[in-house]
Chains A and B, each alone.
Chain A
Amino acid sequence: MSLDKLPKPEQLVSDVNFKHVPDTPWMDTPTKFKEGTFSFPAHPKSLKYLGMANPRDWSPTDADWKLPDDWQDIIIKGIEERLHKYRSFRLFMDICVRCGACADKCHFYLGSGDPKNMPVLRAELIRSVYRKDFTLSGKILGKLAGGRKLTLDVLKEWFYYFFQCTECRRCSVFCPYGIDTAEITMIGRELLNLVGLNINWVLEPAANCFRTGNHLGIPPHGLLDMWDFMADDIETITGVKVDLPINKKGAEILFVTPSGDYFADPGTYTCMGYMMLFHQLGLDYTWSTYASEGGNFGLFTSHEMIKRLNAKIYAEAKRLGVKWILGGECGHMWRVIHQYMDTMNGPADFLEEPVSPITGTKFENSKATKMVHITEFTSDLIKNGKLKLDPSRNDRFRVTFHDSCNPARAAGLLDEPRYVLSQVCNNFFEMPENTIREQTFCCAGGAGLGNDENMEMRMRGGLPRANAVRHVRDKHDVNRLICMCAIDRATLTAMMHYWAPDVSVGGIHELVANALIMDGESERTDDLRGEPLKDDGEDEQDV
């Protein structure tokens, strides 16, 4: 579904009324697979390649989903296994009091008004089955105890709503017990995967990543072409020919960023920003074609798949003999790096505790995992006066910052990006406080939902974020939405196109590189996008 098929923005959510709930109780309200609100199933070839269950052609709108005969057994056993492996899952099944504090914290609920998008009800979709099959009261009292049988309709409902959650964790900030719907959705999706229910926008990138090292399936020589192309663009704009070390053994630092940064605008400008920064520093680093993906769509599939895809990063660091790893601007990548990588694929005892070769600063907060976030690295450079910056080169931009869900709510990376922005541009405006930092709203396209067929639900779920951007646009003439996430850069671009067409989207290191004064550069007239640094009519030279 393309954007122009949607109703006008003001009309899109005219059917949303928080005071209204369906006439039928939720357990008796069937799921409708409406075009534009769900994602297409995975192609069998991706499942086969990854060795996953039940590869076949099917569609959510078919009556027959071609499930294995014993699908109920598989799911129930799957629940039982996970109740013994994840305290989060077990506890979150048991302790919810249904106070409803989470209800209007979910962007999909705010944009759709569908009560099954309230985090509490999303969890109840599984919890009801858990009560029926795993609790004494549910076994005896059944429906009276809030239990229900796992039927095909229930399974279809799971598929619809667990692929209508971006695992953004905003609800868990507000829950008095810290119940995290991301945990519920992750387990829900694991269970669905056991019987072959999954979406293509997650599993094709996962399969690609497994084979080629990146989501887009770009082979090594293709990557080289892309990077070369960016280096040429940099030379055109700055007159500087940047180094492009690839798979270089013995480099000090391995750099890993999401492949979204190589592939499509505006991510490419951020990627050019990294190259210019590293070149200017004379950093002894390397790109890798094998670990050419920071993102990890395993996070949207199963814990096992996270580990399978993430393994490449440490393996490559070891093979190349680097000292430590630097990671680019990405959201869910940093959830995996920060909270899963060391546990799954560590210990990284073959690496050294990260120290900036430029400033000598020890990155104490990453001494075990040995991977540093690029905004930590750059903040340290700026703080120590190692970069010559001309923030006025970004004066054309009136900037606001979108905190990406995972860096904000799964790592606490809030002030690093703000510090960098404060040093590279002169016009910065925060969005309202209920929509930033740990309370930030999702782009509604994370966790594999940023596909075209799901466009209506993306634009609905995007309302809270877009609404806050429109607020600063109207109040402060903001025209550039900055984010540090590759999925954001893709999905927010579409969202702004729909909700706030005069706001463009970009990454932090694009602005860093615009402002960066490089040795031997020619006079800059254009920014990294090839657009004039000054608006027409005010192009007189600074004295």
Chain B
Amino acid sequence: MSAAFSLITALVAVIALVVISLIGVSAGLSSLFGVIIPYLAIAIFIIGVVWRIVEWGRVPVPFSIPTTCGQGYSLPWFKSAYFDCPHNRWGVIGRMALEILLFRSLFRNTKADLRENANLMYGSAKWLWLAGILFHYSFLTILVRHIRFFVEPIPAFVEILSKVDGFFEILVPTVFLTDVALLAAATYLFLRRVLIPQVRYISLPADYFPLFLILGIAVSGVLMRNVWKVDLLSVKQLAMGLFTFHPAVPQGIGPIFYVHLFLVSVLLAYFPFSKLMHAGGVFLSPTRNQANDSRMVRHVNPWNYPVKVHTYDEYENDFRKKMIEAGIPVEKEE
């Protein structure tokens, strides 16, 4: 499948989703798009994610296979890399925290360049790491900011976070830094997918689709906050109704809100069946979450089974005469 096909398929799919929600709401299906679909999506998300993680968790880890990225635990005068090559549980927790919170491995990224006379050079390449960090932390901040719609009174940390996020007070209402960062990072991730030949070559519709979906969510969110303003009180009424299991659809919320909500619902429902599950999977990755202690602590394989081996007796039977002639000790002198 060609690169263009992957991109266009995904784009068409997301545009179709936008159109579906617009048509649906204008046809008076606001309780379908405001209540039923969000509930379904959340149910699929929760059940799906739990199911996937349980499914992974049930598969055994037969061998201890950490990738060691530093000096291992050895004799006392060799300083071991406590986090990059952990030898105990605390080290592993540190390694996983660095991986999950700071994208440690991606931070190592380099870019190879082949110059004249078969000369290879490696340059620093931290942009992917930076975009990844910005993308994920902006997403997280935006999620936390959204708590304001679901509870009353609004928790203090949400208020503070929103204050900090809107610190520069550009425009009214304030443009949040994380909105800009998320859009910028997602755009970068999209552009590098299109512009870097190797990445374009490997990209599937499943790589473009979530990007477009998230871009669509972010754009619709910014639009309804800063351009086609929707009535936030009604939105909060709807959200709190959903959250407290007393769903009600207030009249007069602009269609852009339903586009936003529908795209979020699709993202939630799509999540467990997609590569987005890397979020759960990274915790289970055997090359990262095991300690490099396999010579110190025996690792047990639950499905270890006996195999056919060539025993010493069989070996000596093959070579006994020659061994005796050569003066090599044997078990049986014939």
Contact = CB atoms under 8 A, between A and B. Distances in A.
Interface of A: 9-10, 12-13, 16-22, 25-27, 51, 83-88, 90-91, 94-101, 103-105, 110, 115, 118, 120-121, 124, 135-137, 143-146, 169, 172-180, 183, 210-213, 219-221, 224, 246-249, 289-290, 303-304, 307-308, 311-312, 315-316, 319, 337-340, 342-344, 346-347, 361, 363-369, 371, 376, 379-380, 383, 408-416, 419, 432, 434-435, 437-439, 463-464, 467
Contact of B68 (A19, A121, A412): A412
B114 A343 contact: no
12 contacts: A12-B118, A100-B196, A137-B206, A177-B281, A211-B318, A220-B322, A221-B323, A249-B329, A343-B298, A369-B295, A409-B67, A412-B70
B163 interface: no
B310 A210 contact: yes
Interface string B297-318: 1111101100111111001101
B173 interface: no
B172 interface: no
Given A25-B1, A146-B205, A290-B312, 20 more contacts: A21-B201, A85-B60, A95-B278, A100-B198, A136-B273, A137-B206, A137-B273, A177-B282, A179-B285, A180-B287, A221-B322, A224-B328, A308-B307, A343-B304, A376-B74, A409-B68, A414-B72, A432-B122, A463-B118, A467-B120
B105 interface: yes
Interface string B196-234: 111111111111000000000000000000000000000
A180 B287 CA distance: 7
Given A87-B286, A95-B278, A136-B273, A434 B202 contact: no
B59 A83 contact: yes
Contacts of A315: 309, 311-312
Given A85-B303, A172-B67, A409-B68, A434 B128 contact: no
A315 B200 CA distance: 52
Contacts of A212: 315
A97 B75 contact: no
B149 interface: no
Contact of A289 (B119, B300, B328): B328
Interface residues of B, number: 102
A17 B310 CA distance: 49
Interface stretch (B14-22, B34-42, B79-87, B176-184): B79-87
Given A315-B312, A339-B294, A412-B85, A10 B118 contact: yes
Contacts, number: 326
Nearest to A12: B118
B118 A467 contact: yes
Contact of B59 (A13, A90, A183): A90
Nearest to B293: A365
Contact of A88 (B73, B112, B206, B286): B286
B78 A416 contact: yes
A145 B328 contact: no
A176 B52 CA distance: 20
Given A173-B69, A213-B315, A247-B329, A367 B296 contact: yes
A174 B70 contact: no
Contacts of A211: 310, 315, 318
Contacts of B318: 211
A414 B70 contact: yes
Contacts of A347: 298
A87 B128 CA distance: 27
A328 to B, nearest CB: 16
Contacts of A467: 118-120
Contacts of A224: 326-328
Given A97-B207, A338-B295, A343-B299, A88 B287 contact: yes
A118 B109 contact: no
6 tightest A-B CB contacts, nearest first: A412-B72, A95-B281, A412-B68, A178-B287, A221-B326, A178-B288
A438 B70 contact: yes
Contacts of B109: 101, 174
Given A97-B207, A221-B325, A304-B307, A380 B68 contact: no
Q: Is the interface of A mostly helix, strand, loop or mixed?
A: helix
B72 A413 contact: yes
Contact of A104 (B9, B60, B78, B112): B112
B63 A343 contact: yes
Contacts of B74: 365, 376, 412-413, 415-416
B137 interface: no
B198 A103 contact: yes
Nearest to B81: A412
Contacts of B110: 104-105, 174, 434
A220 B118 contact: no
Contacts of B326: 220-221, 224
Nearest to A432: B122
Given A25-B2, A95-B277, A85 B62 contact: yes
Interface in B67-114: 67-75, 77-81, 84-85, 87, 99, 103, 105-106, 108-114
B308 A308 contact: yes
Interface in B319-334: 319, 322-323, 325-329, 331
Contact of B300 (A316, A343, A379, A434): A343
Nearest to A219: B319
A379 B71 CA distance: 15
Contacts of B328: 220-221, 224, 246-247, 289
Interface string B19-61: 0000000000000000000000000000000001000100111
Given A13-B114, A311-B309, A319-B312, A87 B61 contact: yes
A101 B199 CA distance: 9
B69 A343 contact: no
B3 interface: yes
Contact of A344 (B68, B79, B118, B301): B301
